[in-house]
Amino acid sequence: MRCARSTADDRHLMLAVIGGSGFNRWDALQITDRLDLVTTYGAPSAPLVRGLATGCEVWFLARHGEPHRIAPHLINYRANIAALRDVGVRQVVAFASVGGIAASLPAGSVIVPDGMLDYTHSREHTFVDADADAVTHIDFTHPFDPGLRGHLLAAAAAAGIAVRDGGTYAATQGPRLESAAEIRRLERDGADIVGMTGMPEAALAREAGLAYAMLAVVANDAAGKGDSAAAVALDAAQAAFDTGMARAREVLLALLRAREGHG
Ligand code: HPA
């Protein structure tokens, strides 16, 4: 990202925030412009918003639109990532609301995941299509950018905000929630949290050459777990989720402040 004290060399760090459920608008952003663009893949979920936060220039995109109206399986992930790439973004911090599978992750927990399992289907999931010049196979061993993850974790530590370092995100198709048996399967597969938007977003970011990391906030116990033993009530833990979201946003500001300090 570019900050007040950045050098020209920092331009390659231009950062975007993709806001998810519970983060459609970013009040701390002093908006400088709003870009309505259409990519080869169609229009992104919302206009790209550019602004200043803690003196740094950042982009913001509301994944579900503003107001929140686009369901996870209907999001044009390709247009969102292509639009960010086209305006010069090189790093993405994605916010995600998730269900907690691991008992150690109650509502309100903030996680910087390091693993991904993909159970989505029928989504446009790659830029490698019939018109592509060549068939490319991206490396996806570590789906979240280790460098950007490290910066988020360091920023959280510096700000004294508790976040869980690592965990596997399972991406499900939605929009329905999972059955208890599906969650037991995800758990056996090694998933710690479950959400509906991490894929194909993370893979498209990798294809586009963007460093992508996630701040996931637990909204509820996943189906069949803890308070969701009988049923999932998505807003039953609203207060805990709101607190977690506020903490995740603080981590983001701490990341920007750290960059500003090094500019
Ligand atoms: N499952 C999938 N996605 C979610 C959940 C869940 O339990 N909670 C918030 N997003």
pLDDT in tens, 185-201: 999 999 999 999 999 99
Query: In Å, how far are 38, 114, 172, 209, 235 from 194, measured between CA atoms?
Result: 31, 13, 7, 25, 16
Q: In a 10 Å sphere around its CB, with 0-12 CB exposed, 13-18 middle and 19+ buried, how is residue 175 labelled?
A: exposed
Q: Which atom in ligand 1 lies closest to the alpha carbon of residue 178?
A: 1
DSSP state of 92: E
Output the six-digit token pair for 101. 């599978």
Measure the CA–CA gap between 232 and 99, rounded to whole angstroms.
Answer: 9
| Tokens 């950062």 belong to residue | 15
CA of 98 to the centre of ligand 1 (A): 5
DSSP state of 230: S
Measure the CA–CA gap between 99 and 194, rounded to whole angstroms.
Answer: 5
Element (H, E) at 81: helix 77-86
| Tokens 């603080």 belong to residue | 250
Its pTM stands at 0.95
The answer, yes or no, to whether any atom of ligand 1 lies below 6 A from the CB of 194, is: yes
Model pLDDT, residue 150: 98
The one-letter code for the residue type at 87 is: V
| Tokens 């991206």 belong to residue | 138
Positions of the chain with pLDDT under 70: 1-2, 4-12, 261-263
SS (H, E, C) 136-184: CCCCCCCCCCHHHHHHHHHHHHHHCCCCEECCEEEECCCCCCCCHHHHH
Model pLDDT, residue 32: 95
- Confirm if 24 and 68 have CB atoms less than 8 A apart: yes
CA of 81 to the centre of ligand 1 (A): 22
Model pLDDT, residue 263: 38
CA of 167 to the centre of ligand 1 (A): 15
The answer, yes or no, to whether any atom of ligand 1 lies below 6 A from the CB of 228, is: no
Model pLDDT, residue 5: 55
Say which CATH topology domain 10-123+140-261 has: Rossmann fold (3.40.50)
Element (H, E) at 244: helix 238-261
CA of 222 to the centre of ligand 1 (A): 7
Per-residue pLDDT tens over the stretch 23-75? 988 999 999 999 999 999 999 999 999 999 999 999 999 999 988 899 999 99
